[in-house]
């Protein structure tokens, strides 16, 4: 698959952060990490991004000891109605660090990029996530062009994870997407899942998703109740 880089104000901001990391003192510690996954469905905020078909996903992140980082993540997509998109790239730049021994903050700029698509589907979002004891988190995202709608949207999510022994953990989330009435009704979605770390770094994840009627109206046939199974790895 041919990758096409489309430079924009959003992607230039991410590239600018990466350039800043590159000129920080060489003796400062930095780290590359990555992830990969094969999933039965790419579900984003309660809606399938692949028409309920499998997706291949991968990401890479460069983090500096100062807390600054830049990352890129991609997935195959297939929207309904079809706008020609075959891939999504999420480019992020931000800072993460401890506010207290049990509390961490992650603040970042996110660019959603869809190469070779019809119209103007690319859009930006500012995000904040506060995590407590690495088990509970509150995430907020805001955009003046939510889902490339030219209207504002604010996304709020509460999440939790709990380990069950050495190899298992359960995860759950409840979220509300506050959308401008000129675009669509605000909607709620939730998820609950189990993760089995059967052979590190490999994990098997099973997630059940559910949305309200407003999400089903906004994403006909792509929202509602659905299951997702994924093989994932972090390295």
**pLDDT tens by residue, 98-133:** 999 999 999 999 999 999 787 889 999 999 999 999
Query: Taking the CA of residue 220 as centre, how many other CA atoms within 13 Å lie in the half-sphere pointing to its CB?
Result: 2
**pLDDT tens by residue, 190-232:** 999 999 999 999 999 999 999 999 999 999 999 999 999 999 9
Tokens of 233: 């790895």
Give pLDDT, residue 182.
96
pTM for this entry: 0.88
Give pLDDT, residue 10.
47
**pLDDT tens by residue, 37-73:** 999 999 999 999 999 999 999 999 999 999 999 999 9
- What is the pLDDT confidence band of residue 80, given thresholds at 50, 70 and 90? confident
Rounded percentage of the chain residues whose pLDDT exceeds 70: 88
Handedness of CA 18, 23, 24, 26 (dihedral sign): positive
**pLDDT tens by residue, 125-171:** 999 999 999 999 999 999 999 999 999 999 999 999 999 999 999 99
Q: Which residues of 150-166 are buried (b: 16+ CB within 10 A; e: fewer)?
A: ebebbbebebeeeeeee
Mean pLDDT of the chain, nearest integer: 90
């Amino acid at each position: 698959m041919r990758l096409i880089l489309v430079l924009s104000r959003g992607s230039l901001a991410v590239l600018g952060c990466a350039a800043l990391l590159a000129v920080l003192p060489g003796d400062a510690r930095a780290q590359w990490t990555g992830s990969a996954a094969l999933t039965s469905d790419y579900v984003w905020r309660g809606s399938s991004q692949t028409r309920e078909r499998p997706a291949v996903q991968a990401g890479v992140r460069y983090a500096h000891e100062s807390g600054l980082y830049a990352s890129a993540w991609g997935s195959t997509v297939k929207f309904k109605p079809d706008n020609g998109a075959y891939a999504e790239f999420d480019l992020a730049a931000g800072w993460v660090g401890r506010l207290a021994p049990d509390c961490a903050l992650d603040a970042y700029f996110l660019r959603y990029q869809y190469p070779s698509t019809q119209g103007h589907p690319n859009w930006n979002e500012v995000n904040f996530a506060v995590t407590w004891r690495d088990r509970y988190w509150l995430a907020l995202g805001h955009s003046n062009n939510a889902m490339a709608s030219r209207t504002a949207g604010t996304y709020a999510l509460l999440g939790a994870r709990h380990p069950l022994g050495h190899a298992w953990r359960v995860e759950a989330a409840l979220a509300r997407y506050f959308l401008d009435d000129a675009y669509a009704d605000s909607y709620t979605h939730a998820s609950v899942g189990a993760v089995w770390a059967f052979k590190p770094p490999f994990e098997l994840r099973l997630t059940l998703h559910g949305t309200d009627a407003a999400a089903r109206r906004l994403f006909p046939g792509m929202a509602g109740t659905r299951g997702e199974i994924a093989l994932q790895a972090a390295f």
